[in-house]
Amino acid sequence: MGNDRIRVLAAASGGGHWEQLMLLRPTLVQYDIRFATTEPAVAAQHGITAVESLPDCNQNKPVESALCAIKALWIVLKHRPHVILSTGAAPGFFCILAGRLTGARTLWIDSVANGEELSMCGKLSKRFAHECWTQWEHLADGQRPRYFGAVL
Amino acid sequence: MIIVTVGMQLGFDRLIEAMDALAPQLGMPVIAQTGKGSYQPRNMEARTKIAPAEFEALVEQSRLIVSHAGIGTVLTAARCAKPILLMPRRADLGEHRNDHQLASVRKLDGRPGILVALDETELAARIAEGLALKDWTAVQSQTARQLHTALAAFIEARPL
């Protein structure tokens, strides 16, 4: 399959998570890429208009989290990506979970801000994503998470 | 123009006070986002908070960012291709709950466009270096190259 035929969904919350996704953009645009974020207005600032909007949520907000999970599943069913990746946080994790239901290959890249320990969703991704990567070498154990470099 | 930021959550008077003392010698305007600090700068424009969109516009106009070692600001600097000088907060001075900023700067020091001042005495020399940086934006750090390569391999289902 040609690279431009590989459907990729890249999801990140607004702020630092999104900034890291944007630093990965030069690689992502080689594929049939679709973005999802909690702040579509910021995506528009980067010239990305075809963006899926996710409601923001975190582990302390069960109702918002449930709604976000439903929206994530809807986005994944709509686009049927071959690959789903997220740089965080919870909304991106829900996209990965949804991807497990549709057979997508899934990748969690833990935020470079987590230099002391993996984020909560990062820890969950060790179990639920195909790959879980940290951006700090000393946090990697060679399997889960693995280290392949950093956005910086 | 130089923009100084310490984030929104905590003050960092040691950095603000040192930058205020240096500001008259820098030969360009200095704007500081001072957060919850109590020191009142006299030689630079100071604001407690700057909204994200305005901060971004200021970064675009600036020649150098001087910041606490917050990853959010480092990422903004990377995206806007501006050099950034980091001074870490210290737990023993009550500037943060632990010394993770010290650990961060040790790992980030030397990456393209990133400079480090371990304390206020190193600021003047590092600012001069930061303002003199040229053509570093074309350089992708080795760690970034590695991550992009691995990401492409994962997406294409090649061996990692």
Whether the CB of A31 is below 8 Å from some CB of chain B: the reply is: yes
Q: Which residue is closest to A83 within chain B, CA to CA?
A: B155
pLDDT tens track for B5-47:
998 889 999 999 999 999 999 999 999 999 999 999 999 999 9
Q: Which domains does chain B have, with CATH numbers?
A: 2-155 (3.40.50.2000)
CB contacts, 8 Å: A105 with chain B: 154, 157
Output the pLDDT for position A37: 97
Find the CB nearest A20 among B75, B98, B100.
B75
Q: Which residue of A has its CA nearest to B151?
A: A27
- Give the lowest-confidence range in A42-46, A108-112, B23-27, B104-108: A42-46
Which residues sit opposite A132 in a β-bridge?
Answer: A108
Q: What's the CATH architecture for A3-147?
A: 3-Layer(aba) Sandwich (3.40)
Looking at chain B, the whole-number percentage of residues with pLDDT higher than 70 is 100
Residue B126 banded pLDDT, cuts 50, 70, 90: very high
Instruction: For A8-18, write each residue's pLDDT tens digit.
Output: 999 999 888 99
Q: Is the overall model pTM greater than 0.90, yes or no? A: no
Do residues A92 and A111 touch, judged by C-beta distance below 8 A? no
In this model, does residue B51 exceed pLDDT 90?
no
Burial string for A28-48 (b: 16+ CB within 10 Å, else e) reads: beebbbbbbbbbbebbeebeb
Question: Would you tell me how many other CB atoms lie within 10 Å of the CB of residue A106?
Answer: 25
Domain boundaries, chain A: 3-147
ipTM of the complex: 0.97
pLDDT of residue B57: 92
Is the per-residue pLDDT at A41 higher than 80? yes
